[in-house]
Amino acid sequence: MVERTQALRDAELWFLRHGLPYFVRSERAIVHRGLSRARLLPVLAVALLVGAAVGVPTGIWVSGDVAGGLASGLFAAGAVLAVYAGTTLRLRIIARWAVGRTFASLGMMFPLVTRALPLLLLFVTFLFINTEVWMVASSLDPGVLAMAVMFFALTAVVFLLVRLPEEMDRVDDDTDRGRLVERTRGTPVEHCAAEVFEGIHEGELRGVLEVAGLQKWNLVLVLLVSQFVQVLLLSVAVLVFFLVFGSVVMQPEVVGSWLGMKGPTDVSGPLVKVSVFLAGFSGLYFTVYAVTDETYRQQFFTSVTRELERAVAVRAVYGTLHR
């Protein structure tokens, strides 16, 4: 009994260290309560109030435009929701592991990104030297530009949330007992995994392995954060590239003629706006590319899926011991 209790505690710590708080029963209960209507509605109300308290004064007295106030309000409301998600919904545990794993595997990420980056830069560079793009981007107020970038980011997240669950459909399909036991090597339940899996009836094994509900969404969120960090790093790289490239090749006379300005033209302001706009667009492009390109999906998701398959095997032992 003591060994069983210790194995359960060690497994729970292992889940938390690997960004899987929803696999722990006590943590999952907290998240369930946090997602209830009685908890969510007050949080949404506070987020709206904070957004209005920040956005209205900013729009009226500071930036002097509606878009700037709206962008500030959305950012403030999003910050409130992010704090709630990071604490009560345990998203900070998921994000910490996913971000750490992404930075730890930068060497693997480099060849994957270089598949998309050349074609992306070739395509976006033609937009960068396009008159209409400079006219549109430079005319945007900071608030409108911020909202455009938010729109790109939100579209990318929605696209990932639609497509990533499809990748999770296969992580709990393998019912081979030998492979399941092997996946638990180096985990807190390795010493009892063989006994547990041998004691499960063949007809029950698939049900024990099946991941659903919050636990499946935990796996999806791990993939989502990992992919989002990659997209963010690539967007920053594109932003730096165009800031450097533009400062070298874009002449004030040319930019002035494009924008209809007379006299000396300061390129820095329009350059930053164009670079930020194209970096946001590049992030959305890379998100779609990463999920739809078969080679990229195979290389990236194979690495992450192996770890998630191991988590599913550990979860099966953990759930069986909890009975």
Angstrom distance (rounded) from CA 212 to CA 208: 11
* CA contacts within 13 A on the Cβ side of 311: 27
Cβ atoms of residues 23 and 15 within 8 Å:
yes
Q: Name the pLDDT band for 14 (thresholds 50, 70, 90).
A: very high
Angstrom distance (rounded) from CA 311 to CA 157: 24
Q: How many residues does the chain have?
A: 323
Tens digits of per-residue pLDDT, 162-186? 888 877 777 888 888 888 889 889 8
Q: Name the pLDDT band for 276 (thresholds 50, 70, 90).
A: very high
Q: What is the mean pLDDT of the chain?
A: 84
Angstrom distance (rounded) from CA 181 to CA 193: 6
Tens digits of per-residue pLDDT, 78-99? 999 999 999 999 999 999 988 8
What is the DSSP-derived secondary structure letter of residue 22?
G
Q: What are phi and psi of 126, to 5 degrees?
A: -65, -35
Q: Which two tokens stand for residue 111?
A: 């060849």
Cβ atoms of residues 265 and 253 within 8 Å:
yes
Maximum average pLDDT range among 37-51, 105-119, 242-256, 307-321:
37-51
Q: What are phi and psi of 142, to 5 degrees?
A: -55, -35
Q: Please tell me the least confidently modeled range out of 132-136, 204-208, 238-242, 308-312.
A: 204-208
Angstrom distance (rounded) from CA 65 to CA 79: 21
Q: Which two tokens stand for residue 134?
A: 């400079």
pLDDT at residue 277 above 90?
Answer: yes
CB proximity list for 263: less than 8 A, separation 6 or greater: 256
